Structure 1
Amino acid sequence: MLIRIVAILFPLFAIVAVGFVVGRRMRPDLAHANKLNMDVFVPALVFAALASKPFRPENDIPLLLATVVMVVASGLAAWALARATGIQPKTLVPPVMFNNCGNLGLPLAVLAFGEQALAPFVVMFMASNLLHFSFGAWLLDHKVRLMTIWKVPSVLATFAGLAVGMSGVVVWEPLLTSIRMLGEISIPLMLFALGVRLSDSRITSIGLGVFGAVARPLIGMAIAGILLMLVDFPPQQQALILIFGALPPAVLNYIFAERYHQEPEKVASMVLIGNMAAVVFLPVALVFVLP
């Protein structure tokens, strides 16, 4: 079991480590690469994953709703925790509420459960992203125009992929292969960019950073466990739900905190320490889900 867990996680952390070292030594500007990833490669990944399989409401909608429940419940738990500890809710709630389901979650799902896990986890990824770009942004700034979310390329790709899957239209295989190849660029680039981003982050609030880093997976796994006790999901979805709960805070939390001037140094500490702590929490989650 230990060898299997190491084999699953090693490629993820190896690529992140390469990005971290390159970030420290070369200070690359990945602004254009990240924009390409979010505007081209990730939408291609999303569309290919959703368009290449038939849409099954009996499977996809319960998983979508489960993701929404987990994100919202995590936010409510974090809000109660912030009020009890005196931490600014706008500082603690987003890192606990929104996890790193893109940079770490997508590649982890594929490495642990194979290509067949990509499409269902894309559903979870997009549900979380939709909430992050809408409610997450509004939480930090009530003046945010929520309708701008429909202009996000990955959101458009989600609806396009779902439309193809629901209609039963078969995309010409060479075209789908081309889109899939573009999408395959996104995962290693996300991992590499995560390492570069972490190399540029600074830990200024160690205590709060550790608190948020531990709270995120513990709350997420607890909610996932309760959800799995209440609802009978298929085995693969049970595993994906628990993995989703164990993921660390999303890097996007730091970007949003910086954009909306919400104690970005403290959020950066939670994100950095949280992603380092994933070395501990992800193996624990895998112990429960691997056969």
Structure 2
Amino acid sequence: MLQTFISTVYHVFLPISLPVIGGALIRKFKKIDTKPLSVLSLYILSPALILDTLLKANITYGDVTQTTLFCIINLLLLWGISTGVGKILSLPPAERSGLTLITLFTNCVNYGLPLVLLALGQAGLDKASVYVIIQIIIVNTIGVYFAARSHFSMKQATLSVFKLPSIYAAAIAMILRMTNVELPQGLDQGVSMLAGAYASMALIVLGAQMVSANKQESATLTSSMNKAFYAGLVLRMILSPLASALILYIMGVRGILFDVLLILSSMPAAVNAVILAEQFDAAPKVVTKCILWTTLASFIMLPLMIGWMQ
């Protein structure tokens, strides 16, 4: 087991750590603003990766069906658990909303996709692309609801999905696949070049965001905020992986799809969660602190999980 853990750290997490460390250093010493990099990643590199992967992905309708069903069941289960924990701990509404965001949404794009690619190869990335598209839709609709609650607008949440180019990239890829039309060679090469730049850029942004989160998390938390923070750590990093594994087992999911879905659903709290938390006052200090500490914890937990899978 120890040998497998060391091998996983060396072959998977060491390559990932280099751009993360680079992003952290450039943020700390050069005070780089990550927003332009995030925009570049979200609006150019991520759609290119989705388009390139889905066009060439070896996925079946069964993969899509199982992934969609898993996402729905996992969402409902974790929502019920986080709601119950929030009531048991007598958390105020803001902390309950923050706890829900921490529990439900993972950093499956910036961190998860590069990790799956290194750990499971192109076959894993193919299947991961379906999960990521579903999560993008969920975060920008249901995620807004969980963050906003009282002033939620279904129309605004739905429209926000259609502002994301990754959705259109996925739609174009599916149309081209169904009609058996291939991109011209030059265009295909250009898309592939952009897709290849995604992983490094996403990890650089992640490292820079971790430094920002470290500066913000020093803020003093109230008693209810502390309860929400520790509950978020346990739910995201312990209970969520166990619940996901149980759901996948009951569904009969096996093989590489099982590995992909378990890894992506066990990732640390999503960076996008703090954006929603700040916009709708859903305990952003708690969410920011959880993002930092769940990300740090993942560098121990995820190698153990991947080693167990192998």
* Bigger RCO of structures 1 and 2 (CA < 8 A, at least 6 apart): 2
Go from structure 1 to structure 2 and tell me whether the alpha carbon gap of 1:269 and 1:48 turns closer, same or farther (over 3 Å shift).
same
Does 1:96 pair with 2:111? no
Match of 1:108 in 2: 115
Match of 2:157 in 1: 146
Check conservation: 2:106, 2:268, Cα contact below 8 A.
yes
In the superposition, the TM-score normalised over structure 1's length comes to 0.93
Distance (whole Å) between structure 1 residues aligned to residue 73 and residue 253 of structure 2: 14
Deviation per CA, 1:248-283: give whole Å up to 9, x if none. 100111111112222211110111111111112212
Distance (whole Å) between structure 2 residues aligned to residue 207 and residue 9 of structure 1: 31
Q: Which amino acid aligns with 1:200?
A: S
Match of 2:130 in 1: 123
180-189 or 98-107: which moved more? 180-189
Q: 2:38 aligns with which of 22, 27, 34?
A: 34
What is the correspondence of 1:11-90 to structure 2 with a 5 Å cutoff?
A: 11-53=15-57, 56-87=60-91, 88-90=95-97
Distance (whole Å) between structure 1 residues aligned to residue 266 and residue 66 of structure 2: 20
Root-mean-square deviation (CA, aligned residues, Å) is 1.8
Match of 1:136 in 2: 143
Check conservation: 2:59, 2:126, Cα contact below 8 A.
no
176-185 or 49-58: which moved more? 49-58
How many pairs align? 290
Go from structure 1 to structure 2 and tell me whether the alpha carbon gap of 1:226 and 1:17 turns closer, same or farther (over 3 Å shift).
same
Match of 2:304 in 1: 284
Distance (whole Å) between structure 1 residues aligned to residue 302 and residue 264 of structure 2: 10
Match of 1:2 in 2: 5
Deviation at 1:165, TM superposition (A): 2.3
Which structure 1 segments of 5+ residues have no match? none
Identity %: 20
In the superposition, the TM-score normalised over structure 2's length comes to 0.88
Deviation per CA, 1:69-107: give whole Å up to 9, x if none. 223322222121111112332010011100010111101
Q: 1:186 aligns with which of 188, 191, 198?
A: 198
Go from structure 1 to structure 2 and tell me whether the alpha carbon gap of 1:16 and 1:211 turns closer, same or farther (over 3 Å shift).
farther
What is the correspondence of 1:162-181 to structure 2 with a 5 Å cutoff?
A: 162-181=174-193
Deviation at 1:128, TM superposition (A): 1.1
Go from structure 1 to structure 2 and tell me whether the alpha carbon gap of 1:3 and 1:174 turns closer, same or farther (over 3 Å shift).
farther
Distance (whole Å) between structure 1 residues aligned to residue 15 and residue 230 of structure 2: 25
Which structure 2 segments of 5+ residues have no match? none
Q: 1:271 aligns with which of 266, 291, 294?
A: 291
Check conservation: 2:20, 2:204, Cα contact below 8 A.
yes
